[in-house]
């Protein structure tokens, strides 16, 4: 069982901080990876929408 912070020596505190920092880095990297994946999907959807709008306008213009 882990001791309360005020009863830990400097070495134990440093180990605890390093472990916590490692976990935060892992979570932050996962978070950034998720943002990148969502950005790619959003860009693809936006480009598909622009393409469809352009084709629709061209069809209307060419029909009239």
Query: Which residue matches tokens 């790619």?
Result: 40
**Euclidean distance between CA atoms 49 and 20, whole angstroms:** 43
- State the number of CA atoms in the 13 A half-sphere of 46 facing the CB: 6
pLDDT tens string 38-55: 999 999 999 999 999 999
pTM: 0.57
Mean pLDDT score across all residues of the chain: 91
As separate numbers, helices (DSSP H) first and strands (DSSP E) second, the chain gives: 1, 0
If you count them, how many residues does the chain have? Answer: 64
């Amino acid at each position: 069982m882990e001791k309360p912070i005020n009863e830990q020596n400097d070495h134990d505190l440093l180990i605890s901080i390093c472990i916590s920092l490692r976990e935060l880095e892992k979570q932050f990297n996962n978070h950034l990876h998720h943002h990148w994946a969502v950005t790619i999907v959003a860009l693809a959807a936006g480009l598909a929408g622009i393409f469809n709008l352009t084709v629709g306008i061209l069809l209307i213009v060419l029909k009239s």
